[in-house]
Amino acid sequence: MIAETKRLILRELRQDDAEHFFELNNDPEVLKYTGDVAFKSVEEARDFLKNYSHYSETGYGRWALIRKDDLEFIGWCGLKLNEEGYVDIGFRIFKKYWGNGYATEAAQKSIDLGFSKFGLSEIIGRTANDNHGSFRVLEKIGMTFFKNGECHGIENASYFKIERPFTKRTFKILN
């Protein structure tokens, strides 16, 4: 387990999450604004998870989201060093759980971990301009717009960011 919130457990993704991963990425509405393509099979999802190297490379990555009350896998959320050199927050949740605040809860915890546990100074979020749900999540966790751009083939993407809060403790570390 990486962390927990009031309703969720965040843990590393495992190969035995392959069926859930396959199902999640097999929903066209879930993938609509991601630029990703669905896995062709559960085995392809398992291979992806088997070769997922972000934890060993950076210490963080995308984490499985498990509901505490029934231990149901509902999606993933977490941090990733992306192709542009930014650390970004990402989340993907089964459609039947949309609108319950899970993405916001998990994203906020991921941001907190990024600053407190992994010592990051800035985290970004990227979303298609038409993805109003993700827009709202990024704003709710305190991110602010900083530029437009292309992201994974999506030409009309917005970039948001949040910086590590400056505290007296941070100041003392820097001196």
Sequential pLDDT tens for the chain (175 residues)? 899 999 999 999 999 999 999 999 999 999 898 888 899 999 999 999 999 999 999 999 999 999 999 999 999 999 999 988 999 999 999 999 999 999 999 999 999 999 999 999 999 999 999 899 999 999 999 999 999 888 777 788 899 999 998 755 554 555 4
Hey, what domains does the chain have and what are their CATH numbers? 3-174 (3.40.630.30)
Identify residue 142 by its one-letter amino acid code: G
Of 156, 133, 148, nearest to 35 by C-alpha is 156
Take residue 142 and report the two structure tokens written for it: 């305190």
Alpha-carbon dihedral angle through residues 26, 32, 33, 39, given to the nearest 10 degrees: 20
CA distances from 166 to 79, 87, 160, 169 (A): 21, 19, 19, 8
The Cα 151–Cα 161 span in angstroms is 15
Alpha-carbon dihedral angle through residues 134, 136, 140, 145, given to the nearest 10 degrees: 80
Neighbouring CB atoms inside 10 A of 167's CB total 9
Q: Which bin fits 119, alpha (ψ -120 to 50), beta or left (φ > 0)?
A: left
12 backbone dihedrals φ, ψ, rounded to 5°: -60, 145
Confirm whether pTM is higher than 0.75: yes
